[in-house]
Each structure stands twice: as C-alpha cells, then as structure tokens.
Structure 1
Amino acid sequence: MKYWIGGLMAIISVELGAQTVSGTVYDQMSNTPLAGATVSVSGTLTGVATDDSGFYKLTDLEPGRYRLLISYVGYTSETLSEVWVKSGVITRQDVYLERNSSNLDEVVITTNISITEPGKIGITEEQINRFAATYYDPARLVTSSPDVAVTNDQNNQISVRGISPNYNTWRLEGAEIVNPNHLSNAGTFLDQPSATGGGVNMLSAQMLSQSQFLYSTFDSRYSNSVGGVFDMNLKNGNTTQRQYTAQASLIGLDLATEGPFKNGGKMTYAANYRYSFTGLLTQFGVDFGGESIGFQDLSLNISTPLGTRSRLKVFGTGGLSFNNFDHQPFSESEVIKDRRDIYYDNKTGVIGASLKSGFDNSHLTTSVVLSGYENTRDEYEYDDNDVRDTSLIMQNSQRILSIHSSYNRSIGGANLTLGVLANQYSWAGSLQGIYDHSLNQFLINPYAQIEWRVFSDLKVKAGVNYNQSTDDASIDPRISLTQQLNANNYLTIAGGKYSQLTNPYNYYFNHTEGGQVWDENYGLIRSYRGTFTHVYEKRGFNIQSELFGYFYPSVMILGERTAWTAGGTLTSEKSFSDGLYFRFGGSVFESEIEGTVEQPYNTKYNVSMAAGKEWDVSKATKNRRFGLNIRGQYQGGFNYYENLPNPDGAMMDFTRYDYRTTPYLRLDVRLLWTRYRENRTTSIALDLQNASGVQNEGYKYFDGFTNQLETQYQLGLIPILTYRVEW
C-alpha cells in the first residue's frame, strides 16, 4: 500500500485554480479543432469564441451546475447539460460537433440526458457523485433505470429485461476487457465468483469521461453481447493546471490527481488510488465476526497530442481484493458456513493504449488492451470436534487480448464506419478432484455501418457484423429508422441479430443449471431483438416509451431450447436545473424459456425513481449548498431452485424444489452538504442504503448443518459517511 500511495503522491504539488470551464471544440469526423465556435452559458449573457486552436475558456462562474450551448456555422449545435463547476478546479469539457448538410435546418443535440436516450444509460462523474448510494461506482448508477434489475445489494451485477448478467460485457476505450470488479463473489450464491460483477468497480468515478451502458438495439459497432455492454472511457487530464481530490468514507480512502506533467506542457495525466476502509481496519486487527474484506486499486491514464489532429492514450489499472471468513466453534455455529474457513483472493490488471488520428473528412481510432484476472477460493470444513476435515480448492483465471480499430468517413451527407474487433481469450480453471481444464478461443468481428439522413426528418442507420470464432460463424445485420415528427417528438424502429461467444461462465443460459463446464463446444449464442420507441424532449425534460422483444432460437438448459423476452418501458426525466432533477420509470415484461423451465431473472416488473433537490444556503461570503437525493426500486422476485435430499433415499437422491423470492424493495437517501471556498470545494455526504431497512430475500439453499432449507437475506440499512475535498 505504501508504495502505491508514494507513487501517486510523487506527482502531487499544490496549485490553485479559479472557477472555470474550458476545453476544445473539434470536428467530430476529422478531429480538427474548430476556431471561432461559440460556447455560451444557457440563460446568461456569458459566452466566448474558440481561439485558433479550438480552445475556449469560460471564467468567473459561480459554483453550480450549468447548461452549455455550443454552435458553429455548418455544424449541428450541441447542448451539454449538468456541467458541474466547482471552486479551485477547472472543469474540462471537450466537444465534438457533427457536420450538418447545408440544405438542412440546424439541429440541436442534447447530451448528458443519459437515461432516456433510447437503449442507452449515460454514466458521468457528476451523476455518480450526486445520485444516492452509488458509492462512486459506475455500475451501480445504471440501476436507476427501470430496465435494469438489482440482483443483490452486496454487488453491482445487473440483469437487463430478464437476461442473465453473465451476458453483459465490459469495454474500455473500445476494447473488450475481463470483469473489472473487486470481490466478484460478493452477494452471489454461496459466495461463488461471478462473471461480470462484484462488490465495487475498479474504475473509480474520478477516472471516467463520457461512458455508457447499452442494453437495447445498439448498433453494429458493439458486438459480442446478447445482453448489455458497458462502454467505459478514461478522462484526459486537465491541460492548464494540476488538480486533486481526496476522499475518506466507510468505503475507503480515495486519492486522485490530474493535470499536465509540466506547466505549459501538452502531455497530461489522470491518476487515482483507493484503499478500502474495511481493509485498513483489518490491518489494525479489527475483527468483523470472523470475516475480513478489503481491496485496493490504482489507475493511470497518460494522454498526449500528436500534432493537431491526433491523440495517444496509454493507460492501465490494477486491483487486489480479498474476502476471508474464519469458522466458528461448533457450539456457536448456526449454519453450515460457520463450520468453514473460506479464503477468497483476486488479482486483476488492465493495460493498453489508444490512438485517435484525424484526416480530411475522416478519422481512425485503434485500441490495444491486455487484461486478465486470477482468483482463488480455498474452503476448509471442520467436523463436530472443530478439527479440519475436508477441503475444496478452486482456481480461475482469464486473459483477453483485444484489438479494436474503427475508421469513420464522411461521404456526401452520410457517415460510413468500418471496423474490426479481434479478441484472443484464454481460460483456466480447476476445482479440487472435479476438473482441471483450460480453454483458448478467438473471435474476429469485422463490421460496417452507414448513417445518413434520407430526408430532413428521416435518419437511417444500417450495419452488419461478421463473427468468426474458433468453432462457429455468424452474420448479424442491424438497422434503425428515426422519424422526426416535430421539434419535440420522434419515433425510432430498430432491430437486428446479436451474437455472443459462449464461455465457461455463460454456456448455460440459466446460470443456476450446471455451473462451469469446460468440455463443451463453445460456439456462438444467437439472438434477435426489435424495439419501437417514442421520445418527447423539450428543454431538459423528456419522456420515452419503448416496446421491446428479444428472441433466442437456441439456448443450452436441460438440452437445447428457445427463449424470449418481451415487454414495454415508460420513463421520464428532468435533467438538473434550477436545483431540481428527477427520473421516474416502470417496465413490465415476460422472460421465458421453452418448456417448464423458469427464467431466474424474470422479475416481471420493475419500478424505479431518482430525484433530488439542492438548496442555496449561502450566507455573506460563505457559498454553501444542501442537497437531498433519494432513489428507490421495486421489482419482482427472482426464480431459483434447490436440490433437497430425500430423507430415506439413496446417496445423491434429490427432489428439486423451485421457488421465487419475495418482491424486492429498496429506498436510498443521500444528504449532501457542499461548501465552495475560494480555492477548494469541500463536501460531507451521508448515504443510507436501504434506508427503510426492508429485509429482502437473496436466495434459499439447503443447509447441511441445520438439515433444512435456509433463506439468505440481503443487506439491511447501511450508512456511509463521506468527506471529500477538491482543489
């Protein structure tokens, strides 16, 4: 720990800044800086024009959240909402404007609306810091959508519209990576490692730029997922000054810094280090009832321009986590877990580089990323005399070498995209006395897509993927048509084919059937999906309704079967303005598998809400704000089964018991006190996860110690106090 902190603090020195928003305006296609573009603050007379290098700087702004308007002749205007201006730091907002056909009326595009953009949930640092009980984790933010179900309070695994979390994938700077979460066994069935989630994400909010989670009819640029895609991007460091963030909470200690390596230099860095609070207490010998949990991670992104049109990023992140449990004496044991020592350790690392180069009417982006993890789970059981009796040792590892290259070109009034994703996978796993296997796979995915306005009010996007894996191949066409009805309404109809390479974690569509398998033919799972969407949007407020359907012609569960999901969603949102924001939504759906097998994640309905209000409580020269943020979710229960031994039967004679957990209800509250000082911003926050203390069911299991069916409950009321300072 001391070496990681030392490495981070070596690049920290104290410099103070003003309340400023700055950045560069680019041509989206050629990556060329745009001189003379106008950047203004909505509702005020404040505005500037970009200089010869496309750079702008808005100064002397009061702390708070603003909406920026960016315009340039021949380009579609853009609106950036929820831009957070703080004392002592410069808020960086780079903007990429899209060229507009000369015979079309000017179009205003609004970003950061996030949840109600069809099939996309935006992930921003500002929202992660504002919404209740996100714990600065990007994956937990997306649970404010009614299309996303919480699988367990203790982890950030999510189910989209009844689909298993095992079919979600992660990308960083466009390339696919392994599961980037600490404590992947948190909140899972009998503490087994999960494929795509964990207790907390290694990518802290302080390291992110515009990122998103796609879950509906996403276009041909996104492949290898029949669930959802986390598309994460790292932010570039500030170009004009060094800035720092320090945070202490019951989650852990968090130190971040960004800026140029030298004053006036063009090469910048952004770095973040975290160490968990429970891990720190464990180092001092604090006991948590026989259990110890901890994690730490370090992330770094170095960015440098290469000429005026190109930028190179070199980045990496690494994390360590552990979850250890010591058995209890026989006289104090209540369930079978109390009779066991369980030691779980995980190591995860990601390293890569990304180059974006602009040309006349086109740009090329290439990312190369190597990622991997290793986890071990050692379990030792004790007999009635508290003597170690049996052991079960499990080891898993995965490596992904991912290369993603994308070429974009403007041709007339259309945008053409040609790209390829090439992945090499390596798996290894062993379970003492049961299996010891390895698996190597590859996936090559070239794709092409074109987007153009057929008429002034009709936009078409069409593309195709070709998927070639070790054992299988598939062609996936996709198309969407967007009809502008008037200035505030539009309709989108979209559909296509989606494929994903199966692996030892997701071979079974229903993960409760069979677990890990290593000797199967891992081909592609195929699906078809379609959506019909209506969006109304006006001045930071929008309403979206969507009908959706997903069909899987062949999934593995007790043999080959068909599966489908269908339903509808209604959401509404007001972005943060005048001290107020809200999100409300609900979805109803059915997620079924052919025959009598019940989909485990078919919750049937999900209602979510998030809202907040900020009050200005400044006095004299003291600029202070108080915020109240709430978030709630009500969803149906999950379907599981458990094999119960027959009392008078022979060995391995079981009766299958199917059950459904009770509906899930949770309300989170965040109280936030912020003070904007002359050269820094300080805040104190209190998050109350499950503020109402509802006892939600996690799952049921047959307990070998009590010899009966037991219920594992999720977390109760969890208070998290946080102190944060930025300068």
Structure 2
Amino acid sequence: MLRTLITAFGLIGITHLHAQAMRGEVTDAENLIGLPGATVVVVGSDPIIGTVTDQDGRFSLTGVPLGRTTLHVRMVGYEDQVLNGLVLTSAKDLVISVRLQSALTELDEVEVVGDASPNGVRNEMALLSARQFSVEETDRYAGSRGDPGRMASNFAGVQGADDSRNDIVIRGNSPMGVLWRFEGVNIPNPNHFAIPGTGGGPVTILNNKYLANSDFFTGAFPAEFGNATAGVFDLRMRNGNADKHEFAAQLGFLGTELMAEGPLSKKRRSSYLVSYRYSTLRLFGFMGIRIGTDAIPQYQDAAFRFHFPSKKGSISLWGIGGSSKIDIVISDQATPDTATLIYGENDRDQYFRSRMGTVGATATRTLNENTYMKATLAVSGQGINSDHHYVYRQVVDGHYMVDSLPPLLRYRFSESKAMLYVFANRKLGLRTSLRVGVNSEQQWAAYLDSARAILPAAVDGDPNTLGTWRVRWDARVTALQLQPYAQVRHRFNEQWTATLGITSLHNSINANSFSPIEPRFGISYAPDTRQRISAGYGLHSQMQPGYLLFYGATTEGRDPLEQNTGIGPTRTHHGVVGYERRLGQRVRMKVEAYYQWLFDVPVSVAPSSFSFVNTGAGFERFFPDSLHNKGNGYNQGIELTLEHAFTKGWYGLFTASLFDARYRGSDGVWRNTSFNGRNAFNLVLAREFTTAKKSVISIGTKFTYAGGRWYGPVDREASNAAQEVVFIDSLVNTRQFRPYFRADLKLGYRWNRPKVMHELGLDLVNVTGQQNILKLTYAPDHPSGDPIREEYQLGFCRCSTTRWSSEGTFLAFNRNLASTLPTRSPRYAHP
C-alpha cells in the first residue's frame, strides 16, 4: 500500500514537471465577440488534449507537454487556425488570443500536422508585404537581442543600417520612412539616445516581455496607416495574467529589470502588468572591457497596462517611456587615445540627454453582433538635449594640459502630442467588412539651438578664435494633424479576396502639408489551399520632421531666417505583386516584386546632389540648406523567402533581395542612394534538442551578406576647413564600400523543473570579427597624418545570460560580457 502511494505521488510529480497549462480566448476577427463552442486541440497529443470554449469564448488546457506545441482551433462557420511553435515552460502559463475568420463554405475535415507559414497577420486588410511576428521570434534569431528592429532585419527586403543602431532600411528607403505604432496610435522614436529626425537608436525602449503578437509591413499597407513611406511596426501590448500573480526580476551587468503581472479581480477578469528596467554599463569599466569610450551610457524605461473587460467591451490604461543620458568627457583624459574613441568627437566634451513617453486609454465597445467601435485617447512627448564644450589643450611630455572649456553648442528640442484615434468596424455579412475612422493629433513643438563656429586658428590653441554665437533654431510650433480613412474587404468566393481603401493626410503646420487623396488597393487569388497570387498598390505620404522646417541657415541679428517653413510631404507610389506557395506541410516559399516611385522629395534649391532620401540613419544631426519639394527617386526589386516552420525541433529562414534604389537631386543627375546595396541575403537556422527530462538545448545561427554603402571622393581642402568629411558634390555616391558580411551564433540550455525554469544562453555577434565599413570620418589627430579614415561597424562581442523563473515569482540574472557596443573596433584605419 505504501509503495503504491509513493508511486502515485511520484507519477503526479513527474506529470507536473513535464506539463503546463494553456489559457486563452477565441473571438470573431471582425466583431471581437467571443465564440462559444470552438474546439481547441493540441496537435499530435496522445491521448488527445483538447477542450471547448465556454460561453465567453475562453478556454483552458492542462497537462500540455513542455516544449514547442502546435494548437488547432476549429469552429463551425469559421476558417480553421493553426498556431505553430508555441513554447511552454514549467515556470509560466501560456496565454494566447485567437481570432477566427468567417468561412464562406464548410471545410472538409483535414489532418493537421503543422503550418508552413507564420501566424496570420492580425490586420485583415493586409494581403501582401506584411508579416506577423511573435515575442518568441524576437529572441529566436541570433543577433536580434530581443529588439523588434534588429529582428525585422532578417526579413526579405529589410536591412540594418548600422550595427551600433537598430535603424532599418526597407526596400532601399531611408529609415526615416518607418512608422512606429503602439496600441493603435503613432508614437515617437521608441529608442534610447535618439537623434532628431531618426527612427532608431542603439538601445530599444521596448521590452519584448510585454509585447503581444504584432504586425510588420514593408509596403502598400492599409489605409489606416498614414504618414509613412517605407514601412510600419504595428505593436501590441499583451494583457497581464488574469488567473495568477507572476513576478520577474533581472539583475546583471547591463542593469536591473522588474516585472509584475496578475489579476486585479478574478471575477471580472481584470488584470495588471507593470515593467521597469534600469541599465548601466558601469560594470564594464570595472572589468576592464573597452566599449569605445570612457563615458558610461545610462538609460531606464518603464511600461504598464491595466485591462478591464466587460460583457460588451473593455477599457485599457497603458503607457511606455524611457530616458537616457551619456557624458562623453575627454578633457579629463591623461593621454591622447584617438584609436579607441568610437563615439563622440575628440575636440569637445559632450553631454547628451533624451526622453520619450506615451500614455493612453483605449476603449472597445461591441454595439451589436456585427459592429464594434474602438477609441484611443493618448498623449506623447519626446525631448532631446545636448551641450558641447570645446577643449583647448596642449600635449606636454605625452600628457594633456587643458587650458579652458568654453561652451560651443547647446540645443533643446521637444515635441508633444495629444491624440484621439477612433474607428468603427462593421461586418456586412459573411463576405464583406468595413472600417471607417479618423486619427487626429494636436501637436506642440519647441526647437532651440545655438552654436559657435570653430575657426581655423582654434585648432592651433588660440582661445579667442571661436566664432560668435549663432541661433540656428528658435521656434515654438502648434499644429493640428488629421487623417480620416475608410477601408473595405470583400471575399468574392474562396479563391478571390480584395481590399480597397482611401485616406487623406492634412497638417496645419503649413499650407503645403496636405495629401488630399491616397488610394490603397489589394487583391488576392488562391487557386487552391497551397498557393496564392497577390497584388497591391498604395499612394503614401510622410510629413517632414519639424526641425527641418524651422532651421535657420542664416540669421538676421539674433533671429534665424527660416527658409523651409513651406516644405510639404514626401509622396510615393508603391506597387507590389507576390506569389506564395506551400512546399509540403512545413515549408513555404514567397516571392514579391515591387516598384516604388518617390516624388516631392526635399532637395536643395541650388543645384546640388543633396536629397532627403539619404538622411535618417546615424548619430549625426542634419542641417538643411534652402529646400523645395522637387526631388525624385525610385526603388525596384524582387524578394525571395523560404521558411521552414519550427517543427520537429528545427527552424530555417532564407531571404534574398535584389534591388536598385536611385534618386535625382536638384542638379538633375541620377545617383545611387546611400542605402542602395543592390543585394542582401540572410540565412537563419535554429535547432532544439529535448532531453528525457524535458530540458532543451538550443543552437541558432545567422549569416548576413549585403552590398556595401555608397560614398564619393573626398574634397580634402573643404574637409580640412570644415573639420569634417566633405565629399566632392558632383561625385557623391559614385563609389561603394566592400560588401558587408556578419555571422552570429546563439547557444542556450533550459532546465524545466516543477514550477521552476533555469536558462543559460550565450550570444556571439560577428564571430569572425569581420571589419565592415560604416563610413568615412575626419580624424585630424590620427598618428598617420591622414585625417580621412574608415570607421568600422560592430566588432566581435559576446553576451551570456543566466535566468531563473518560477510560478508566482521570477528571478533572472542576465550576465552580459558585452553589449551592442563593440569590445574592440578601432575607429580609424587606412581606406
């Protein structure tokens, strides 16, 4: 008897060790009403693990084996949905949300063994050039480091612009053309150490631990997205666990992270989720690891979400934000060290601050079985401040002697918005759905900047040779932006689907910031369940950043003369055709070809090679001359994706892009854009091995090969006078750097124990130590005597993680032996 009891309790313990719970809800994709009676089954389970949703469309599965799982959701009158590659650990319940599309005809019973494509795009109006990505994907790819931007660079048509930043180039477009949307509203650049007019940065403010499955668009996107010409990140925040409290803590060399989530009321299914992260690289200095500068970058960010569901809708309160700072002080250096000064300039002390935040309230209300409305009220703000002090010094016996530190530059940029986004969605029978809405923003901005020129004699140490102060920005701006839109989706039959949309964009900042009619169109034909042909078109526009409009290239007295206040939006025609085919149950192939015509691009009034299509990536600010909207450009190319779904322990992704991106400035000459690499190839592989005790060993690799950036011959006389690289204008972008290559490796080991999970990981970035050229830079103090040097991208770096987590509590210790910054990468070398 005693032996029987011991055996029984032992079996219970083993079952709990090797299994976990899955919870979620199943809703109609077009009216968000919960679907009672839907069957939810774990594919391949024996005996079968399954359940039926309750009257609210909710379900709960227990005893699901740990590891990767495929879920099959089926409902009479709706299309089946298969969720592939779901990851279960012993430390946390898996909570998912499933949206089903109405079926036009009843489908035959089929055997489901996996799904060759990623989960369907959340936005039903997107028929091509769109992809849904999961939180798990941001961690899956080697080198992504949980960053959505770096993760997206693995997709066809997408490239990283700079290893030290997460800006992305989509189909040859400037990174400035990417729109960031969070919880349904447009947000400022969600990155630490952001530079005015850019869409990326070295460290993301976003934390993948609180993101839900989200959409990423690379062109011809639906009408609800305006003010973007390249692509869209449509990010969603997940709700907290409504059944149990869970906590997280992460300690490590890059800082501390805290997270908590759980139910506010189990009866009402309300929940909370809060997250805070503080990071510093100070410990690298203690360990003697070089990060390119003696300055210590510091940043912190936070997020929250409170969700209150009801019978006919829900209300959510949410927010994200972060701040960062870095002080690059060279005046306290004992000896010159230009070889390791990767960030900053070697003639000044620099103090930089940035901040960003958005908070909002979202209300969703079901009006009837066919209609629901959604309204989001939000406020956002972004601020960027910087101060520079010129260092007068001399070298005596190999040591610096600082004479004085006069102020050289100061700027204070701030932008804020109050936003109201409202739409109504109506289901017009089984075949048609309609969405009508308006996105409104009240905008405020203040730009203040003044600087002193460094005269030639200042380089020789004369403290009286800095120029007089010149005010370059001094503007306070108020504007109203409106974007009404309407879009409809119609399914003619099981084979043919079409979408049609129209939007308009108006900003009161000037009379030219108006795009009256922007049509969007998509059509899809599926001759059978294994293949699909699609085509789409969109007219898109993007308003210019405020700092461009109010820069004063010259002054009258103290006041800057603003020459660009009448600049209007950049506009593009974007056409795409695509073909997608399933090659067996687990592999899919996708090919897309596109052509994009850019017009009304800001270019110089005086004949010049300058065009706004080449800006938006890097740490440098842009100081525009007198501009007008008379530039053109085009991007054309073809993309291939081959993807093996994460089944039977492995995942594979191969993408190839062949493209051409050119522009025409005010001098009438067609040139390569700075981002016209002409080709890009990615190979991503991931393999998992599960032990008898449900522990998991994982190995991931990524290989990237891409064409180099473009540049031109240097005007050395002008460069010496300006103390920065100046190219011969007529020969801009006539030369190309050597091709870019990088190999990354990711290793991991995960132990699953009752209610506890322990994970070890190691990320090796640029394992071959490849010296990829980023740009040319000016270094007057370089020992070789040649001030024009090549600046390299990220060198080899390694990042190890150790994490523990458990039900009810979560502890994670993250030990990073390097960050996004290089361990060693000399800034200068002979070109």
What TM-score do you get using the length of structure 2 for normalisation? 0.79
Q: Name the aligned partner's letter for residue 522 of structure 2.
A: S
User: Residue 332 of structure 1 aligns with which residue?
Assistant: 336
1:627 Cα deviation from its structure 2 partner: 0.3
Which among 606, 609, 613 is matched to residue 687 of structure 2?
A: 613
Would the alpha carbon gap of residues 642 and 375 (structure 1) be closer, same or farther in structure 2, given more than 3 Å must change? Answer: farther
In the aligned structure 1, how far is the partner of 2:755 from the partner of 2:562? 57
In the aligned structure 2, how far is the partner of 1:719 from the partner of 1:476? 46
Q: Deviations over 1:149-201 (max 9, x none)?
A: 1111111111101100011111111111111111225xxxxxxx552111121
Which among 340, 356, 359 is matched to residue 351 of structure 1?
A: 359
- Give me the CA root mean square deviation: 2.9
SS in 2 for 1:259: strand
SS in 2 for 1:646: helix
1:517 Cα deviation from its structure 2 partner: 7.7
1:506 Cα deviation from its structure 2 partner: 7.0
1:361 Cα deviation from its structure 2 partner: 0.7
In the aligned structure 2, how far is the partner of 1:314 from the partner of 1:431? 36
SS in 2 for 1:52: coil
1:488 aligns with 2:530: yes
User: Residue 584 of structure 1 aligns with which residue?
Assistant: 654
Q: Is the 8 A contact 2:433 2:490 kept in 1?
A: yes
Which among 610, 630, 633 is matched to residue 704 of structure 2?
A: 633
User: Residue 295 of structure 1 aligns with which residue?
Assistant: 299
Q: Is the 8 A contact 1:220 1:465 kept in 2?
A: yes
Would the alpha carbon gap of residues 455 and 276 (structure 1) be closer, same or farther in structure 2, given more than 3 Å must change? Answer: same
User: Residue 119 of structure 2 aligns with which residue?
Assistant: 112
Spell out the pairing of 1:552-701 with structure 2 (5 A cutoff): 552-559=598-605, 560-594=630-664, 595-618=669-692, 622-640=693-711, 644-646=715-717, 655-656=728-729, 658=732, 659-701=735-777
Q: Is the 8 A contact 1:39 1:70 kept in 2?
A: yes
SS in 2 for 1:61: strand
Q: Name the aligned partner's letter for residue 482 of structure 1.
A: S
Unpaired runs of 5+ residues, structure 1, are: 1-15, 186-192, 509-515
Q: Name the aligned partner's letter for residue 665 of structure 1.
A: F
SS in 2 for 1:542: strand
User: Residue 720 of structure 1 aligns with which residue?
Assistant: 799
In the aligned structure 1, how far is the partner of 2:522 from the partner of 2:106? 23
User: Residue 476 of structure 2 aligns with which residue?
Assistant: 438
1:468 Cα deviation from its structure 2 partner: 2.0
In the aligned structure 2, how far is the partner of 1:247 from the partner of 1:650? 50
In the aligned structure 1, how far is the partner of 2:478 from the partner of 2:634? 30
Q: Is the 8 A contact 1:407 1:418 kept in 2?
A: yes
Q: Is the 8 A contact 1:365 1:405 kept in 2?
A: yes
SS in 2 for 1:128: helix
Would the alpha carbon gap of residues 366 and 650 (structure 1) be closer, same or farther in structure 2, given more than 3 Å must change? Answer: closer
In the aligned structure 2, how far is the partner of 1:25 from the partner of 1:418? 24
1:121 Cα deviation from its structure 2 partner: 3.4
Would the alpha carbon gap of residues 578 and 654 (structure 1) be closer, same or farther in structure 2, given more than 3 Å must change? Answer: closer
Q: Name the aligned partner's letter for residue 531 of structure 1.
A: V
In the aligned structure 2, how far is the partner of 1:238 from the partner of 1:32? 20
SS in 1 for 2:802: strand
In the aligned structure 1, how far is the partner of 2:588 from the partner of 2:412? 48
In the aligned structure 1, how far is the partner of 2:796 from the partner of 2:717? 38
In the aligned structure 1, how far is the partner of 2:288 from the partner of 2:419? 41
Q: Name the aligned partner's letter for residue 442 of structure 1.
A: L
User: Residue 543 of structure 2 aligns with which residue?
Assistant: 501
In the aligned structure 2, how far is the partner of 1:654 from the partner of 1:266? 62
Which among 465, 476, 500 is matched to residue 462 of structure 1?
A: 500
SS in 1 for 2:64: coil
Moved more, 112-121 or 490-499: 112-121
Q: Deviations over 1:528-554 (max 9, x none)?
A: 011110001253421000110100122
Would the alpha carbon gap of residues 702 and 517 (structure 1) be closer, same or farther in structure 2, given more than 3 Å must change? Answer: farther
1:551 aligns with 2:597: yes
Would the alpha carbon gap of residues 279 and 271 (structure 1) be closer, same or farther in structure 2, given more than 3 Å must change? Answer: farther
Q: Deviations over 1:569-596 (max 9, x none)?
A: 0111112111100110100111111224
In the aligned structure 2, how far is the partner of 1:174 from the partner of 1:517? 34
Q: Is the 8 A contact 1:349 1:372 kept in 2?
A: yes
Q: Deviations over 1:285-343 (max 9, x none)?
A: 999652111111111111110x2230111011221111221115485143782332111
User: Residue 3 of structure 2 aligns with which residue?
Assistant: none
Would the alpha carbon gap of residues 640 and 390 (structure 1) be closer, same or farther in structure 2, given more than 3 Å must change? Answer: farther
In the aligned structure 2, how far is the partner of 1:17 from the partner of 1:529? 50
Would the alpha carbon gap of residues 504 and 673 (structure 1) be closer, same or farther in structure 2, given more than 3 Å must change? Answer: same
Would the alpha carbon gap of residues 685 and 581 (structure 1) be closer, same or farther in structure 2, given more than 3 Å must change? Answer: same
In the aligned structure 1, how far is the partner of 2:562 from the partner of 2:149? 28
Q: Is the 8 A contact 1:382 1:390 kept in 2?
A: no
Would the alpha carbon gap of residues 607 and 117 (structure 1) be closer, same or farther in structure 2, given more than 3 Å must change? Answer: farther
Q: Deviations over 1:501-524 (max 9, x none)?
A: 22246779xxxxxxx987431422
Q: Is the 8 A contact 2:587 2:643 kept in 1?
A: yes
1:541 aligns with 2:587: yes
What TM-score do you get using the length of structure 1 for normalisation? 0.89
Which among 36, 45, 50 is matched to residue 47 of structure 1?
A: 50
SS in 1 for 2:152: helix
Would the alpha carbon gap of residues 357 and 105 (structure 1) be closer, same or farther in structure 2, given more than 3 Å must change? Answer: farther
Which among 424, 439, 448 is matched to residue 486 of structure 2?
A: 448
Q: Is the 8 A contact 2:662 2:670 kept in 1?
A: no
Would the alpha carbon gap of residues 661 and 121 (structure 1) be closer, same or farther in structure 2, given more than 3 Å must change? Answer: farther
User: Residue 160 of structure 1 aligns with which residue?
Assistant: 170
SS in 1 for 2:410: strand
Moved more, 700-709 or 600-609: 700-709
In the aligned structure 2, how far is the partner of 1:177 from the partner of 1:339? 35
Q: Is the 8 A contact 1:443 1:501 kept in 2?
A: no
Q: Is the 8 A contact 1:574 1:583 kept in 2?
A: yes
Would the alpha carbon gap of residues 140 and 507 (structure 1) be closer, same or farther in structure 2, given more than 3 Å must change? Answer: farther
User: Residue 304 of structure 1 aligns with which residue?
Assistant: 308
Would the alpha carbon gap of residues 277 and 458 (structure 1) be closer, same or farther in structure 2, given more than 3 Å must change? Answer: same
User: Residue 478 of structure 1 aligns with which residue?
Assistant: 520
SS in 2 for 1:495: strand
1:273 Cα deviation from its structure 2 partner: 1.5
Q: Name the aligned partner's letter for residue 421 of structure 2.
A: H
SS in 2 for 1:539: coil
Matched length: 694
SS in 1 for 2:162: coil
Over the matched positions of the two proteins, sequence identity in percent amounts to: 25
Q: Is the 8 A contact 1:261 1:268 kept in 2?
A: yes
Q: Deviations over 1:677-726 (max 9, x none)?
A: 11022211101111111111111123344462122211101111112223
Q: Is the 8 A contact 1:533 1:546 kept in 2?
A: yes
Spell out the pairing of 1:181-192 with structure 2 (5 A cutoff): 181-185=191-195
Which among 389, 402, 409 is matched to residue 380 of structure 1?
A: 389
Unpaired runs of 5+ residues, structure 2, are: 1-16, 395-401, 451-469, 551-560, 606-629, 807-831
Would the alpha carbon gap of residues 439 and 700 (structure 1) be closer, same or farther in structure 2, given more than 3 Å must change? Answer: farther
Q: Is the 8 A contact 2:253 2:284 kept in 1?
A: no
User: Residue 190 of structure 1 aligns with which residue?
Assistant: none
